[in-house]
Structure 1
Amino acid sequence: MNKGKRKLEVRLVDDLWTNVRKAAVSKNPKEMVGILYQSGFLEGLENQMRNKWRQIPPEVLDSIVIGSAVDILYEKISNGGVISNPGGYLYKVADYKAVAFIQEQKQMTTTLIKEMKLSDNFVDPFDDSPIELDREYCLKRALIEARRLLKKLGQENVQNVMAYVFDCIEAQRYDVKPAEIAKALGLSSGTVRTSLTRGFDRLKRIALEDDLANQILNEAKSITDINDEEEVV
């Protein structure tokens, strides 16, 4: 009885991947995804990923991690690739995407700091050199000018997210992450990431139009010679 049941399960699995391959080869991604959903495979994969990667928001797992894995499988098969174990392939790709997402989050702090360099002479306020006070002044002045531009950034979510980032930088907190911002502002992590991208892009564009970079640079040069300092990267 058990052997017969196992044989039936194996046959059902084989039929599933045969149908998935046929849909992909026929260039029909919607049909392929429908087959995966109807079979319950995607639901099982989602549960596995959510249990393993609890730190990743469910919406990110569904769209970026699992969605990307399905897209990659489709492209591979539809272009003539041979996948002997599509189920295992989907799991490995999804797992890889999850790891990549976590690494991206870890790099977000560095990215935020680099994006906040409104001029080439933005310097580290933790530097305890003799001109520390002058550097701190430059940072505060840059933040004042950046806050002045908040209302020009458009959407309220973008303004609120960028204001939160500015507050963290002023408090010398450079470890802020999208998840923290999302929790503090009651937004989804996806909304926060989108707002950060749009906010920095608009801020840089407006800053150039407003001659902000030159203004900060001129003020910095008027109080100290930063040009001889080692560049902060």
Structure 2
Amino acid sequence: MKYIISSLALFVASVSFAQKTVNASDILSDIKNGKNINISNATIEGVLDLTYMDDALPSLPKRKRWWNSGGSNTVEKDISGSISFVNCTFKNDVLAYIPHEESGYTFIANFEDYAIFKNCTFERKAMFKYSDFDENADFSGSKFLEDSTFKYAEFSRNISFANTLFEEPATFKYADFRNFVSFANSVFKESATFKYTKFKNGVSFKNVKFEEDLNLKYTKVDGEFNIQNMEVGYDIDSKYTKINGKSFSKYLLKSK
């Protein structure tokens, strides 16, 4: 009898930890209907196009019309509801940025409420170029296995990239962090670019491993700059970097 109970308990435990599968199309439908998204321990199948490009394209002017009239080629989708993915695996692309070559339009998704992608695995592209994060955002503990970009992204509230893994080149070029941001204990397997990035209330690179190059050219930091135990495998480009008004080298000398 004890053996039967133990086996049953083991079976229940294995079921409770099994990830469910959720279709990206169902998530997009819920977002479109104004619902908040709260998904954990799930595998997401299908492309998660947060820009809703396919919905927008048919009603947009053709390239010649918007080009001749001097109009903008940027189409922005504002996601009003909160989004939370915890311990999820995205099997296909997660897109908050799409440059559509045929039409000439660029599609962008902005997040008006909090955006959580915590302890997630992005097996394909994770594109957040130009995205605005108006509320708290969290990518901590996540793994980016292919291309990812946060170029030109703006983070208005609390944000964390602590304990993340970037397998491919990662770029935060021109990103704007208005609150403190932590990359502590993260690993960048290839080059990491923070060129022109603005950290307006501090940043932590504590225990971060940059296994190749680190580009901090023109980076500006105001507030805490924690690089305790930071490792860089190849070169650091710190030309024109400003840490609380000082050059990178002078800041390091002062902090010793």
Indicate whether the TM-score tops 0.5. Answer: no
Query: Shorter-normalised TM-score: what interval?
Result: under 0.3
Bigger CA radius of gyration: 1
The structure carrying a bigger strand percent of its residues is: 2
Higher relative contact order (CA 8 A, sep 6+): 1
Give the number of the structure whose residues are more often helix, by fraction: 1
What TM-score comes out, normalization by structure 2 length?
Answer: 0.22
